[in-house]
Structure 1
């Protein structure tokens, strides 16, 4: 056998051994794939990154994946390229409506002003939006908040010009004059306010309805419960750090968000960041509060053509991570 043939034989043997080793590792009792969690830039997800910066995930097989929008996170969940993601409740309902196999395991934040319709200074009221160009991300939460704002003004989508716009283009489109108003959220909301924008409508006018949740694919729930528990525990430790050492936490969070620490503090004023006890009140019991909120929201979304089926909102919630022993 010549040298070329020997190299080919050795290469095949090596490839076979590597494949065997991979298969054996995959069957081993300690094997666990990296648990991937997708998020877009949003102040309510930032405690996850604060937890990473504080080293709480150093020994955990998980990876935070930063995406440009929740739309990208939803697409990745549909395709199985993510194990979990931070989404708004209505986005989770949208995926459930599409039969994407997900469960809600944790509430990350409740928006109380951080989601808003921001307009140019020459648009003083919601009624003055008639005939104007409004940027909105093509997700359920954008449509939901915009629909509520327009209805309050006695307007409909036909009375304005809708401009589909991903969140990473909100500030540039607003400043360039490509749009007159935009449905947005922090950190973009705070940047727009700094640029002279004004809030005409925000999530305070929809109390308890704009909620961000951690959703996990059901197949990941079968293999990665320890990683999920560690992810949640790290986020809760980060919230504790934010409460006890606020200035340090704000300084760590600001660079990622592209805001000053003072602006991060102002953004946080528009959020409730639930601790473990609050999550238990929202997710525990035979009829969890979040299931009722989701049922109400699903009914409204169905009426507005945003959902096509009735959703079992109680069955959408998995409360296994509420127990203290699961977070050790």
Structure 2
């Protein structure tokens, strides 16, 4: 029996969250690979969700958005700009909780330590609004025009190869790839510590799913925070689990998590409280940036979660 599994039986007894849940298929939840989403996978591994929630990892945020747009998911973990993009396409979404703030977890990295700025570089970036927003912020802070760089479309899975093979001079990347690139000798030219609330990850659900499966939505949120408690009380065991999933050594894992802040349940509730709430203010700020750079059309409006969801206990 592994060290981690030795702790599971008593915890599974503690983590029983009740049985008054919706019948039928499990709630379908998807994410891409990102440290801030890992508590969802820990909760699933611990058995907290039971048969009520299924969490799956897709290859990229683009794939998660596509699945959400096509109606193949109930819930998705996305950055705020990705939420805005989907809503602008007519996908009706409601926020469930704020998962993390990127504070250094998104960055522009090069393997050439001679580069001091992005001027004149070939910069690889995923074809998403998030990549464009991070790159735009980096250029603005360095006083560089978009015309002064060459933008190259590079998927996240190709970040390391594209840099090491010289296909690009720098990439807009994120954890855990950021830590791997730094281990290869990478140099950060910009990161979100310089714009601490630029990248926010939220868990959102289809409005129809919230209306038809409120019990499972509540179960999802409660289970997520039970996993967060487990991370605190069984820190070493949680690190083992995350290291295997993220393919990072212990020191690299700690470095990856240093680049983001995981809000408490109270933080999340406060973020969705008020008119306008901090969530609505952040939503509007990101929307304005996207509109100014023609990254989105329309005028989607942010709504706070239903009141009953803010009463969930963790």
Task: Give me the TM-score of the superposition, normalised by structure 2.
Answer: 0.89
Q: How does 1:1-328 map to 2 (within 5 A)?
A: 31-57=23-49, 59-126=50-117, 129-313=118-302, 315=303, 317-324=305-312, 327=313
Distance, in Å, in 1 between the alignment partners of 2:28 and 2:124 is: 30
Distance, in Å, in 2 between the alignment partners of 1:152 and 1:204 is: 12
Distance, in Å, in 1 between the alignment partners of 2:308 and 2:92 is: 17
Q: CA deviation at 1:248?
A: 1.3
Distance, in Å, in 2 between the alignment partners of 1:255 and 1:312 is: 39
Q: CA deviation at 1:131?
A: 2.5
Distance, in Å, in 2 between the alignment partners of 1:276 and 1:30 is: 23
Distance, in Å, in 2 between the alignment partners of 1:153 and 1:319 is: 42
Distance, in Å, in 2 between the alignment partners of 1:214 and 1:236 is: 13
Larger radius of gyration: 1
Conservation of the 8 A alpha-carbon contact between 1:253 and 1:261: no
Conservation of the 8 A alpha-carbon contact between 1:32 and 1:224: no
1:102-154, CA deviations, whole angstroms, 9 ceiling, x for partnerless residues? 1111101111111111112334322xx22221111111111000001112222
Conservation of the 8 A alpha-carbon contact between 2:95 and 2:203: yes
Task: Give me the TM-score of the superposition, normalised by structure 1.
Answer: 0.85
Q: CA deviation at 1:41?
A: 0.6
Conservation of the 8 A alpha-carbon contact between 2:99 and 2:263: yes
Q: Secondary structure at the match of 2:127?
A: coil
Distance, in Å, in 2 between the alignment partners of 1:319 and 1:124 is: 50
Q: Which residue of 2 aligns with 1:9?
A: none
1:150-177, CA deviations, whole angstroms, 9 ceiling, x for partnerless residues? 1222222222111111111112222222
Q: Secondary structure at the match of 1:208?
A: coil
Distance, in Å, in 2 between the alignment partners of 1:92 and 1:112 is: 20
Distance, in Å, in 1 between the alignment partners of 2:66 and 2:278 is: 28
Conservation of the 8 A alpha-carbon contact between 1:105 and 1:319: no
RMSD: 1.7
Q: Secondary structure at the match of 1:284?
A: coil
Distance, in Å, in 2 between the alignment partners of 1:281 and 1:247 is: 30
Count of aligned pairs between the two proteins: 294
When structure 1 is superposed on structure 2, of 281-290 and 39-48 the one drifting more is: 281-290
Q: CA deviation at 1:243?
A: 1.9
When structure 1 is superposed on structure 2, of 159-168 and 66-75 the one drifting more is: 159-168
